[in-house]
Structure 1
Amino acid sequence: MKLKKYAFGIVSGLALSGLLATTALADTVRLKLAGTYPVNHFGHGIVENMIKEIEDADVGVKISYFPASQLGSGEELIEDAIRGNIDLVQAFIYAQADPRLELMNLPGLVTTFDELKAVYGDPESKLNTILGGIMDDLGLVYLANTGEGLVGIVANEKPTDYAGFGDKGMNIRVWSSEVAKKTTESLGYRTTTMNWAEVLPALQSGVIDGAICCTPEWAYSTFAAAGVGKYFIPVNTAIEASSFYASGKSWEKLNQEQRDVIRAAAERAASVAINTAWERNEGFVEQLKEAGWEILEYSPEERAAMVAHIQENVWPELADVVGQDLIDELTAN
């Protein structure tokens, strides 16, 4: 009898142990993270570290990472996240889903690194608070912004009077943003709206003369490294910013501990990306020069005149797109 009881205890223990293991396995949430960083971009490693931090927290989350736009461009990823086809995203937030998202492209809002950290890097900043509300309306969960630097123009030819506001004699690509289009045209360029994936071959074949798109790092790693382009014009009218966000449908399936771990890891990753990007900026300017590119710099007076020109001529037009109430909220002291 004692032997039978002992055997029964072993079997029962093994069964319970197996049940617990099965339950733990079943409780593991597997998420799909779609990113746009190329694998040779410094941000790729930061995302990998973020994923490791989340998984090492032992809260039952495993993440499959698809970098380098494997699952689509930023325009496509936001739509897929809204539908719940993708759980987590690292990408630029395009405004085709909601015109209020053009607030991310408000030109002249940020001109220094300190402003970049304060506006994009602080989770409690006005921009991030407003962005979180808009994303929530779309069924998305905003996590963090990574401001990688100020955006310039890559070009095959030198624009006429590049620091002025007259006709530049050039047709350049802009991303799918009414704000970017109006701003770029206010500087004297003709524009063509084009997805990021199309830019390099279009510039290479001469379909466009240039593209407003890039920090010095992106200009070097995407264009100069491919032998395309000759000039970099640091207009600095916008921020090269990608964001971490989640599908609301996926977020609902997570418990609070899992949500807290993911949000904290995303905020830390964004902070590292901002600091790292700025430190790398000057090095890539020098690499562009070594590759034979000419950097068309602005004097402080020319840059101040350009910012004033944009705020006077472009910002009023953006009220109809973004909403005057949001612009007032964002720029209020």
Structure 2
Amino acid sequence: MKFNRYALSAMSGLALSSLMVTASIADTVRLKLAGTYPATHFGHEIVENMVKEIEDAGVGIKISYFPASQLGSGEELVEDAIRGNVDLVQAFIYAQTDPRLEMMNLPGLVTTFDELKSVYANPESNMNKILSEIMDDLGLVYLGNTGEGLVGIVANKKPNDPNGLGDKGMNIRVWSSEVAKKTTESLGYRTTTMNWAEVLPALQAGVIDGAICCTPEWAYSTFATAGVGKYFIPVNTAIEASSFYASGKSWEKLNQEQRDVIRAAAQKAALAAIDKSWDRNDGFIEKLKEAGWEILEYNTEERAALVAHIQNNVWPDLADMIGQDIMDALTEK
């Protein structure tokens, strides 16, 4: 009888332990993170580290990470996050859901690394506070901004008047942004709106002459390594950026401790991407040159003239698009 009592006690203990483990597994929140960084992009490792930091925090979160636009492009992911089909996103925030998001394309706002960090990396910057409010209106939760560097043009042929404001004699791709379209056309280019996935084959086929799209790293890793393109024009009119954000529907299911861990990890990852990317730009300019590309650089006077042209001729048109109050907040000194 003693043996039976001991056996029963042991069995009861095992059953209780099993129930506790089962309950712990059941309590684990499983989230889906959709990203756009290719596996070869340095940002991919940063996102992987972010995921590990969240999972290792011991707050009951497991994350399945899908990089390289496996779950959709940036345009698609914002819609999926609003619907709650994905829980967390790393992608550029396109403006098709709200014209105020065109503020992310404001040209000439950032021209130096210090400005990039103060505008994009500081959670209390006017841009980040406004972005958080807009995303809240959309049912999304803003977590952090990355700025990888300033965007230039990749081209198969040399434009006319490459560093001036005259007609370039070229048709180049712009992304789905009225601001990007207005800005690029004001510099003398004809434009065709095209999703990112279409750009490389369109350049290969000669459908377009070039594309405004890329930091030097993206220009090298996407185009030069594929044997496409001959010129890089660092117009620097926009920031190659992406953001971390969450579905509001998913966010509501998390407790405050889980939210705090995710937000802190996302902000840390965003700052790491900014710090690392800026340091890499010069190295990839050299790689482009080694690949036989010509860099059509601006001198100081040409750069100042370009920025003044944008601020005097493009900025006034943008207030109607994003709102004068937002425009004033972003451009105040």
Q: TM-score range by the shorter chain?
A: over 0.9
User: Alpha-carbon deviation of 1:112?
Assistant: 0.2
Letter in 2 for 1:72: G
- Cα deviation, 1:13-60, whole Å, max 9, x if unaligned, reads 222211111110001111111111111111111111111111111111
Aligned to 2:24: 24
Give the corresponding residue for 1:45: 45
Aligned to 1:243: 243
Q: What one-letter code is carried by the residue in structure 1 that aligns with 2:331?
A: T
Residue 104 (str. 1) matches residue 108 (str. 2): no
Aligned equivalent of 2:61: 61
Q: What whole-Å deviation, never above 9, does each CA across 1:165-189 have from its counterpart, x for those lacking one?
A: 1111100000001110000010010
Corresponding residue SS for 2:236 = coil
Residue 148 in structure 1 maps to residue 148 in structure 2: yes
Take 2:129 and 2:170, find their aligned partners in 1: how far apart are those partners?
37
Task: Output the CA distance in 2 between the equivalents of 1:171 and 1:322.
Answer: 27
Q: Structure 1 residue 2: deviation in Å? A: 5.5
Q: TM-score, normalised by structure 2?
A: 0.98
| AA of the residue aligned to 2:178 | E
Amino acid at match of 2:243: S
TM-score normalised by the chain length of structure 1: 0.98
> Who is 1:303 aligned against?
303
Q: SS where residue 37 of structure 1 aligns?
A: coil
Q: Could you say which residue in structure 2 is the equivalent of 1:81?
A: 81
Instruction: Flag as ranges the 4+ runs of structure 1 deviating above 2 A.
Output: 1-12
Distance 2:163 2:184 in 1: 12
Which amino acid counterpart does residue 200 of structure 1 have in structure 2? L
In the other structure, the counterpart of 1:222 is: 222
Q: Which residue of 2 aligns with 1:200?
A: 200
Return the alpha-carbon distance in structure 2 between the equivalents of residues 237 and 190 of structure 1: 16
CA distance in 2, matches of 1:104, 1:303: 21
One-letter identity of the residue aligned with 1:208? I
Gaps of 5+ in 1: none
1:142 counterpart SS class: strand
In 1, Cα distance between equivalents of 2:286 and 2:330:
35
Deviation at 1:329, TM superposition (A): 1.5
**1:5-24 alignment runs, 5 A limit:** 5-24=5-24
- SS across alignment from 1:253: coil
Structure-2 separation of matches of 1:302 and 1:270: 32
Does 1:135 pair with 2:135? yes
Secondary structure, in 3 states, of the residue corresponding to 1:147?
strand
CA distance in 2, matches of 1:203, 1:24: 52
Shift of 1:8: 3.7
Aligned pairs, number = 333
Q: RMSD between aligned alpha carbons?
A: 1.0
Aligned partners of 2:9, 2:330: CA distance in 1, in Å? Answer: 66
Partners of 2:104 and 2:35 lie apart in 1 by: 19
Residue 123 of structure 2 aligns to a residue whose secondary structure is coil
Q: Aligned AA for 2:94?
A: Y
| 1:174 counterpart letter in structure 2 | V
Structure 1 position 6, deviation (Å): 3.6
The letter of the residue matching 2:287 is: Q
Structure 2 unaligned spans of 5+: none
Q: Within the alignment, does 1:287 sit opposite 2:287 as a pair?
A: yes
Equivalent position of 1:125 in the other structure: 125
SS across alignment from 1:327: helix
Residues of 2 paired with 1:5 and 1:126: CA distance? 69
What's the counterpart of residue 93 of structure 1? 93
Counterpart for residue 325 of structure 1: 325
Task: Give the deviation of 1:332 after TM superposition.
Answer: 2.3
Task: Find the aligned partners of 2:87 and 2:183 in 1 and give their Cα distance.
Answer: 33
Cα displacement string for residues 178-215 of structure 1 (whole angstroms, at most 9, x for unaligned residues): 11000001001010000000000001100000000000
Identity %: 81
CA offset at residue 123 of structure 1?
Answer: 1.4
